[in-house]
Amino acid sequence: MIAPDSLASSAGLITVQPINHASLVLSFSG
C-alpha cells in the first residue's frame, strides 16, 4: 500500500509534502 502522497520508483518511494502555496518538499526513501 503506497501512502496517498507518494509515488513508487525503481529505487524507492518519492513522497510529497507541501510547505506553503509556493513551496514543497520531495523526499526520497530508497
Partner 1 sequence: MLITHAHGDHYEQRTVDALATPTTRLVVPQVVYDGLPEAMRARASLLHNGQSADLGGFAVEALPMYNTTPDRQKYHVKSVGNGYVLTIADRRVYIAGDTEDIPEMRALKSIDLAFLPMNLPYTMTGQQAASAARAFRPKVVYPFHYTNGPEPADFRAELAGDKDIEVRLRDWYTDPVA
Site for partner 1 in 1-30 (CB under 8 A): 4-5, 7, 9-12, 14, 16, 18, 20-24, 26, 28, 30
Residue 2: closest CA among 18, 13, 17, 16: 13
What is the C-alpha to C-alpha distance for residues 30 and 22, in angstroms, rounded to an integer? 26
Burial bucket for residue 6 (CB in 10 Å: 0-12, 13-18, 19+): middle
- Closest CB 20 distance from partner 1, rounded Å: 5
CB of 19 to partner 1, least distance (A): 9
User: Which residues are near partner 1 by CB under 8 A?
Assistant: 4-5, 7, 9-12, 14, 16, 18, 20-24, 26, 28, 30
